[in-house]
Amino acid sequence: MDIVGDRTLRDLLDEQVDRHPDKTFIIVEDKDGLVTETTYLEMQTRVDRVAAGLGEMGVAQGDRVAVHLTNSREILDIWFALATLGAVMVPSNVANTASELEYLLSYSGSIAVVTQPSLWETVADAADGVPEVQHRILARTTEAAPGTVLLEDLAASSAPTPRPEVGSEDVVQMLFTSGTTARPKGVLLTHANALHGGERESRGLLLDENDRCMTSLPLFHVNAQCITVLSALTVGGTCIVLEEFRATKYWDQLRRHGATQTSLVAMQVRTLLAQPERETDRDHALRRTFYALNISDEEKDAFQNRYGVELINAYGLSEAMTLVTLAPVFGPKHWPSIGKPLLGRTVRLVDPEGNDVPMGSVGEIIVQGVPGRTLMKGYYKNAEATARALRDGWLWTGDNAYADSDGFLFWFDRRTDMIKRAGENISTLEVESVLSEHPAVAEVAVIGVPDPLRDEAVKAVIVLEPGETLTTEQVQEFCEGRLAKFKIPTIVDIRDSLPRTSIGKISKGALRKEAAASS
């Protein structure tokens, strides 16, 4: 028996209701500025009602229900209601097209889908092509569309719902990874995964019941789920969820809600730095600022000095229910290190044959754990991919790093991001770091594209600062002396913007797909 025992997500909610029923658990601010607050007891009552309504509709233990919603309390209502029923939430990225959503619905075998009016057209188009979808549920509205039932009507049910026996290793969520050349895979995450995530993150960040954790990152992603919701729930704190991120409002929202912890990614740091400086920039209650996705040393220093916070860097992934490593809250952080393995995590850096690499050498990150408890249970309906990822109690992440003599890990690259050119391995991160130093470059993404002579060519996709121009020759001249000749981009693509994922990360997968389509 491990630290979370045979408890479930619903058990954790009930425990906190017993401790402080009248304490605020969730604060939600929608895109129009409307704020709603929900206590622990109110959350429990609401979850019971939604579970009862879903149960009457026919949702039973093991059933999958897709959720296509922007950040809102309703996502959490449904997640915990499905957990109560022993059913499985299938979160969908709200940027999904009808075709992508149709795949998610069909592949997961979802019997129902929950959405909101602003997203209804996409969901309707997708669901019409999937006969398994028996129910279409509209949330965040009082007006039903044809063929839908309102979530509020379901939640009006007062009939008690028998609670099935649900175990900690039962699946509570099927989270789809973002694919590159293949279709996304469904990561099966259990109640134990969720509870371990809350324990690991709250302990690593030294949170307690007085903390108020705020995020504007999407709740269909493990970052917001673990770093904000589950961490707050684990310690009996408060989670603050914003429907959307606006750099012009974020720091005022953080201050107004009394947030003591927040989670940021590179895009947010950069856009916050771009706001006019104010005397109130350091007027806040933040104690912890979790951070992921590297920025430059200059950006990190500028942000910390201006806002009076320290960025706590980390590394995690969906298949491990987020965090694997974390920089120490106190003491040196060895920036840009992704930190050290968290308590309970064992990490190795290995070569393709599984041999440990020497200190300072780059190897693939593999993480020890128990499938269904501290690691994902597997990939849904994909035994081959599961066998590749989970081997003898280790999760092979596909991510590369190296370690220093003090045990700090340093991100090198995604295995899929590494460029192989004429027998040489090239880190896209290294090339991007050099190009980002050019005063005309606002943003850059580097990928490998097919080269008939040298396996792959180095391609740089660049967004320029306003009013700037740059040629391929100028880019190459800038790199000379900063990069080995074989690392210098041979292809330069100047664009107005770069494609992004749901959490604001540059989508190299989208860039690779474009390159493959044009080759």
**C-alpha to C-alpha distance for 316 and 409, rounded to whole angstroms:** 12
Cα separation of 489 and 375, whole Å?
38
Token readout for 143 is 């007006």
Give Cβ neighbours of residue 440 (< 8 Å, ≥ 6 apart): 464, 465, 468, 469, 470
Average pLDDT, the chain: 93
Check residue 210 and give its pLDDT. 98
Given a cut of 80, whether residue 157 has pLDDT beyond it is no
Digit-coded pLDDT (tens) for 363-399: 999 999 999 999 999 999 999 999 999 999 999 999 9
* Rounded-to-integer distance, Cα 100 and Cα 444, Å: 27
For the chain, domains (ranges, CATH) are 40-189 (3.40.50.980), 317-326+341-416 (2.30.38.10), 424-518 (3.30.300.30)
Taking only the tens place, the pLDDT of each residue in 174-212 is 999 854 334 689 999 999 999 999 999 999 999 999 999
Q: How many percent of the chain have pLDDT more than 70? A: 96
Residue 147 pLDDT:
94
**Which two tokens mark 294?**
């590297």
- The pTM of the full predicted model, rounded to 2 decimals, is 0.85
Instruction: Tell me the C-alpha distance between 223 and 503, whole Å.
Output: 9
Average pLDDT over residues 292-320: 91
Amino acid at 269: V
Q: Could you give phi then psi for residue 368, rounded to 5 degrees?
A: -80, 145
Confidence band (pLDDT; 50, 70, 90) for 295? Answer: confident
- Of residues 446 and 292, the one with the higher pLDDT is 446
- CA-CA-CA-CA torsion sign (270, 201, 396, 187): negative
Rounded CA Rg of the chain = 23
Rounded mean pLDDT, 401-417: 88
Residues 61-117: tens digit of each pLDDT: 999 999 999 999 999 999 999 999 999 999 998 888 888 899 999 999 999 999 999
CB 264 within 8 A of CB 290: yes
123: nearest Cα among 93, 153, 80:
93
